[in-house]
Amino acid sequence: MNIRQATRRYESWLRQQTHVVERDLRLKHQRMAESPFTFLRATYYRWAQIWPEICPKLADAPRVLAVGDLHVENFGTWRDAEGRLVWGVNDVDEACELPYPQDLVRLATSALLAVEADHFTLSTRDACAAILEGYRASRERGGTPLVLSERRRWLREIALSDLRDPVSFWTKLQSWPDADGRMPRTLLRTALPHGLSPDRIVRRTAGVGSLGRPRFVALTPWGGSRRT
């Protein structure tokens, strides 16, 4: 099976699971041709097929709860329930039980592609060493995200310098069209603070691997500010 056949089979299966936004799917096909790194992000379904064939010894390793579609752009910041700035894995759409090296190999592959594209200034050897060191340290902590208000000052400074301008962020959110038709209204409501209902539900086009799936964002005022 080649990539074209794998893509057709995956998208046929996807249409059986959910409504597909065909416009976003066409955009995904265009983005897949941008670079090897973007292609990797867009084709986790193909990775899941060929990784066990390429790395059969690693595929027999003990299975753990894994991210699955892990790559260098699947890390970021968010605010926890106490409003603290937190850094960690922020995309777990494909989380499932997998051989534990799977996440490490995929993350390292994405890092090497990023190095080749000059997104990183470190060497491929240093990138892989940093991934292994981070994995070991995370295991010792129990795999929890990093609360940047308490430790890792260097990472906090990087995160704060790269935070989105709230005016631009909310202007963009408010400009998205209202969602119509079927939507997970109950699921979105349960994700909001207790007692709140969505003020608006909008459609969103974002990411690479998830392009084609319907995506929704619930907007509501809370505590004198907006919340998604």
Tell me the pLDDT tens digit for each residue of 153-190: 777 777 776 666 677 777 887 888 888 767 777 778 78
Coil, strand or helix at 173: helix
Using CA atoms, how far apart are residues 172 and 39, in angstroms rounded to an integer? 26
Cα dihedral sign for 90, 86, 143, 71? Answer: positive
Q: Within 43-123, where are the H helices?
A: 44-54, 56-59, 101-116
- Give per-residue burial for 167-185: e unless 16+ CB within 10 Å, then b: eeeeeeeeebeebeeeeee
Distance of CA 94 to the CA centre of its chain: 9
Rounded average pLDDT over 82-109: 89
Any idea where the domains of the chain sit in the sequence? 58-163
pTM: 0.81
**Percent of the chain residues past pLDDT 90, beyond the cut:** 39
Using CA atoms, how far apart are residues 152 and 92, in angstroms rounded to an integer? 23
pLDDT digits (tens, 9 = 90+) for 20-76: 889 999 999 999 999 999 999 999 999 999 999 999 999 999 999 999 999 998 888
Rounded average pLDDT over 124-136: 91
Q: Within 72-176, where are the H helices?
A: 101-116, 124-141, 153-161, 166-175
